[in-house]
Amino acid sequence: MSKKQLRQLPSVSEVLLEVNQSITLHNNYIKQVIKTELRGYRRTAKAGKLDIKRSGITAAILDELDTLNQSSIKNIINGTGVVLHTGFGRAPISKKVISTVAKKLEGYINLEFDLSTGKRGDRQNHIAKMLNAICGAESSLIVNNNAAAVLLALNTFSEGKDVIVSRGQEVEIGGSFRIPDVIRKSHCTLVEIGTTNRTHLKDYEKAITKKTGAILWAHTSNYVVKGFTKEVSLTELAELAKKKRIPLVADLGSGALVDMEKLNLPVEKLVANVVHSSADVITFSGDKLLGGPQSGLIVGKKKFVNKIHKNPLYRTYRCDKWTMALMEETLRTYHSEVKVNGDNLSLKLLTTSQNTLFKRGEKILTDISIKKIKDLGISLVESNVEAGSGSLPVEPIPSAALQFKPKTMSVSALAKAFRTGEQSVVGYTKGNIFYIDLKAVLPNQVSRLIQVIQDV
Rounded Cα gap, residues 110 and 103, in angstroms: 14
> Alpha carbon of 199 to those of 168, 196, 237, 379: distances in Å?
8, 8, 12, 49
Task: Check if the beta carbon of residue 247 is closer than 8 Å to that of residue 281.
Answer: yes
Task: Check if the beta carbon of residue 154 is closer than 8 Å to that of residue 186.
Answer: yes
Residue 71 buriedness (CB in 10 A; 0-12 / 13-18 / 19+): exposed
The per-residue pLDDT for 229 is 73
Q: Which residues contact 174 (CB under 8 A, 6 or more apart)?
A: 86, 222, 389, 390
Per-residue DSSP letters for 427-440? -EEETTEEEEESTT
Query: Each residue of 279-311: pLDDT tens digit?
Result: 999 999 999 999 999 999 999 999 999 999 999
The per-residue pLDDT for 311 is 97
Helix or strand or coil: residue 270?
strand
Rounded Cα gap, residues 400 and 383, in angstroms: 5
Rounded Cα gap, residues 290 and 335, in angstroms: 13
Rounded Cα gap, residues 3 and 46, in angstroms: 7
Torsion of CA 176, 270, 352, 78, to 10 degrees: -10
Of 266, 195, 201, give the one whose Cα is nearest residue 225. Answer: 195
Q: What is the pTM of this model?
A: 0.91
Q: Which residues contact 353 (CB under 8 A, 6 or more apart)?
A: 264, 398
Rounded Cα gap, residues 299 and 309, in angstroms: 11
β 397-404/378-385 pair status:
antiparallel
Give phi and psi for 271, each to the nearest 5.
-55, -45
The per-residue pLDDT for 223 is 63
Of 257, 262, 198, 207, give the one whose Cα is nearest residue 230. Answer: 198
Task: Check if the beta carbon of residue 374 is closer than 8 Å to that of residue 408.
Answer: no
Give phi and psi for 328, each to the nearest 5.
-60, -45
Domains of the chain: 2-68 (no CATH), 76-86+349-455 (3.90.1150.180), 95-343 (3.40.640.10)
Helix or strand or coil: residue 432?
coil
Torsion of CA 292, 295, 297, 303, to 10 degrees: -140
Per-residue pLDDT for the chain (456 aa), expressed as one digit of tens each? 577 888 889 999 999 999 988 999 999 999 999 999 999 999 999 988 888 899 999 999 999 999 999 999 999 999 999 999 999 999 999 999 999 999 999 999 999 999 999 999 999 999 999 999 999 999 999 999 999 999 999 999 999 999 999 998 887 776 667 888 889 999 999 999 998 888 999 999 999 999 999 999 998 766 666 777 788 899 999 999 999 999 999 999 888 999 999 999 988 889 999 999 989 999 999 999 999 999 999 999 999 999 999 999 999 999 999 999 999 999 999 999 899 999 999 999 999 999 999 999 999 999 999 999 999 999 999 999 998 877 777 678 999 999 999 988 999 999 999 999 999 999 999 989 999 999 999 999 999 999 999 998
The per-residue pLDDT for 43 is 93
The per-residue pLDDT for 202 is 95
Name the amino acid, one letter, at 148: A
Rounded Cα gap, residues 20 and 67, in angstroms: 12
Name the amino acid, one letter, at 252: L
Rounded Cα gap, residues 440 and 426, in angstroms: 11
Rounded Cα gap, residues 309 and 295, in angstroms: 15
Q: Cα(first)–Cα(last) distance of the chain, in Å?
A: 43
Task: Check if the beta carbon of residue 154 is closer than 8 Å to that of residue 305.
Answer: no
Rounded Cα gap, residues 256 and 269, in angstroms: 6
Per-residue DSSP letters for 229-260? -B---HHHHHHHHHHHT--EEEEEET-BSS-G
Helix or strand or coil: residue 379?
strand
